[in-house]
Structure 1
Amino acid sequence: MAYKLVALDVDGTLLNDDHEITEKTRNTVMEAAKQGVEIVLCTGRGPLNSIPFMKSMGLGGYVISHNGAATVEVETQKIVHQFGMDPLQLEPFMKYCREHGVHFDVNTAFEMYVDQVEELAGPVRFMYENYLMLPSNLPAWEELSGPVVKLTAFGESADMDRVYGDWSKWNLPLNMLRSGEFFIDLMHRDASKGNALKQLAANRGYQQEEVLAIGNYFNDITMLTFAGMGIAMDNSPVEVKAAANAVTTSNNEDGVHEALVKYCLS
């Protein structure tokens, strides 16, 4: 099968554990693009800290950001589509976080907000520095730059397990998912990587069987199951591997390179 659209998760997939794209993987992605494969990043990150990876590989096109809540054109930074939420739906979750000492941020397509940016310190500040995004102070809802597309809770894995368990007992009006060991995301109920990738593929004229997707975590399952070929990284949880058609090597062993060579460049 000739795959024409390749969706790549970023953290834990395209990037190794040092948050870098290796030269081998970079060259292989660029070679696939040179041969006519359209590359799209499909990530939990926002556009501003995912588009630079596309530009570093000389790629245009699109990024599917915020776990599918906002699709953005690389060159113009135009929002192609976004799933906006009613921010009032987030207030019970924000109240919970404040009462239980759980850090959270609120995201529009291009902006990120926290309660007190000047108080960010320790692991929380280090997390934002690693992800190349420093938030601003959260204003009143009517002062936001655009629709809210995501709320993210951040903390130790055990704490996130507890929060996820508590919120799972609520009558959720939103899509809740674990986007990483230390993260829980709340989005519009229709927002997912799979839905956004399906919409982009249709807009670009690709059939489902012409789409290949590579990911490593629970938030990637919808795009792995939508794609004609879904590939899980070896560093994926067993449930993610079970949802995929194939498994490649880990993000520290150039798994994206291995997959593209096998399925797109052979």
Structure 2
Amino acid sequence: MTRRPRLVALDVDGCLLQWTPGTVKAEERVRPAVRQAVRRVVAAGVPVVLASGRSGLGLADVAGLLGLPSAGTGRLWFVASNGAVLCRHPPLEVVRATTFDASDAVAAVLRRLPDARLAVEDARSGYRVTADFPRGELSGRVARVRPEELGAHEATRVIVRRPERHDPGGLDALAAELGRAGVAGTGYVVGLTDWLDLSPAGVTKASGLATVAEELGVARAEVLAIGDGANDIEMLTWAGRGVAMGQADAEVRAAADATTLPVDEDGVAAELDRWFGPDPTAGRG
């Protein structure tokens, strides 16, 4: 990419927000340099899309931390639930939700990992869970149901949460098994917890972002994407310029065109300022 991007896609946790040390939660605050850099992008008339594993409701909260949307800039786009849900905000509106029959996935998880906590997401009604999740990990309405009720309705994703990393290959093996059955699984570690998202086959942040870019009339080559997790790999590969955070695992950095500073050194701001910074020469390459 040699010209200023016409669309910027940003992951949230590990990019805009950093993890609270020793916990499985992100700090619910945006560092000033990052907030200012994002707002400079918006001021330049370039859409900022939040692309995350979080729900649309969770992304609305993050937008508030960023002070978005700014007056006169129009509604935001969210690529939520790892691409399964596309939203506009404000007000929060689900534009598209890609669902799948989660019953087989739920049965396989319960059979293989009986100690895991499961959450089945419906983009419009919240989550059905087998056990309570720690406060703040799920955004929106949460209803506890019997395990056999989890797969009763179509879902946008299934979240599998392990309490500790005593079997680091367990979720990878489960993801591979479900992948053979046509259910995509992205495994990644969140703080001290094993966490696996299961989604409809072919649905990723990249597929969601491609739809948004088409709606906005922006070519793939004109998209800048920044991420740090395994669930960002497809998006970083798809975008005209994919940038990995400095703390990202090697496989994520390998998928990207470039690597910026870590989240605790304002890596998002460093990359955005390359294109939208106060320096009048920014964005020339």
Matched, 1:252 2:254: no
So what's the TM-score if we normalise by structure 1? 0.88
User: Is the Cα contact below 8 Å between 1:89 and 1:173 reproduced in 2?
Assistant: no
- How far 1:132 sits from its partner (Å)? 5.0
Map of 2:196 onto structure 1: 184
3-state secondary structure, aligned to 2:231: helix
- 1:116-155 alignment, distance < 5 Å: 116=131, 120=132, 124-125=133-134, 128-129=135-136, 135-138=142-145, 140=149, 147-155=154-162
Mark the runs of 5 or more structure 2 residues left unpaired by the alignment.
21-26, 70-74
Deviations 1:144-194 (A, max 9, x none): 6xx410001112234353132244245332011114442111110021001
Q: Among residues 88, 95, 101, which one is paired with 2:115 in the alignment?
A: 101
User: Is the Cα contact below 8 Å between 1:213 and 1:230 reproduced in 2?
Assistant: yes
- Structure 1 CA distance for aligned equivalents of residues 204 and 96 of structure 2: 12
Mark the runs of 5 or more structure 1 residues left unpaired by the alignment.
none
So what's the TM-score if we normalise by structure 2? 0.82
- Structure 2 CA distance for aligned equivalents of residues 186 and 104 of structure 1: 11
Map of 2:72 onto structure 1: none
- 1:216-227 alignment, distance < 5 Å: 216-227=228-239
- 1:151-162 alignment, distance < 5 Å: 151-155=158-162, 156-159=164-167, 161-162=169-170
- How far 1:23 sits from its partner (Å)? 1.2
- How far 1:249 sits from its partner (Å)? 0.5
3-state secondary structure, aligned to 2:274: helix
In the alignment of these two chains, the number of paired residues is 255
Does the C-alpha gap of structure 1 residues 167 and 245 become closer, same or farther in structure 2, counting only changes over 3 Å? closer
User: Is the Cα contact below 8 Å between 2:188 and 2:196 reproduced in 1?
Assistant: yes
- 1:19-98 alignment, distance < 5 Å: 19=27, 20-56=29-65, 57-59=67-69, 60-96=75-111
Q: Which amino acid aligns with 1:225?
A: T
Map of 1:7 onto structure 2: 9
Map of 1:17 onto structure 2: 19
Does the C-alpha gap of structure 1 residues 195 and 179 become closer, same or farther in structure 2, counting only changes over 3 Å? farther
Does the C-alpha gap of structure 1 residues 158 and 63 become closer, same or farther in structure 2, counting only changes over 3 Å? farther
RMSD: 2.1
Q: Among residues 209, 216, 219, which one is paired with 1:197 in the alignment?
A: 209
Q: Which amino acid aligns with 1:129?
A: G
- Structure 2 CA distance for aligned equivalents of residues 177 and 216 of structure 1: 13
Map of 1:230 onto structure 2: 242
Does the C-alpha gap of structure 1 residues 159 and 132 become closer, same or farther in structure 2, counting only changes over 3 Å? farther
3-state secondary structure, aligned to 2:87: strand
User: Is the Cα contact below 8 Å between 2:228 and 2:252 reproduced in 1?
Assistant: yes
- 1:204-215 alignment, distance < 5 Å: 204-215=216-227
- How far 1:86 sits from its partner (Å)? 1.3
User: Is the Cα contact below 8 Å between 1:17 and 1:252 reproduced in 2?
Assistant: no
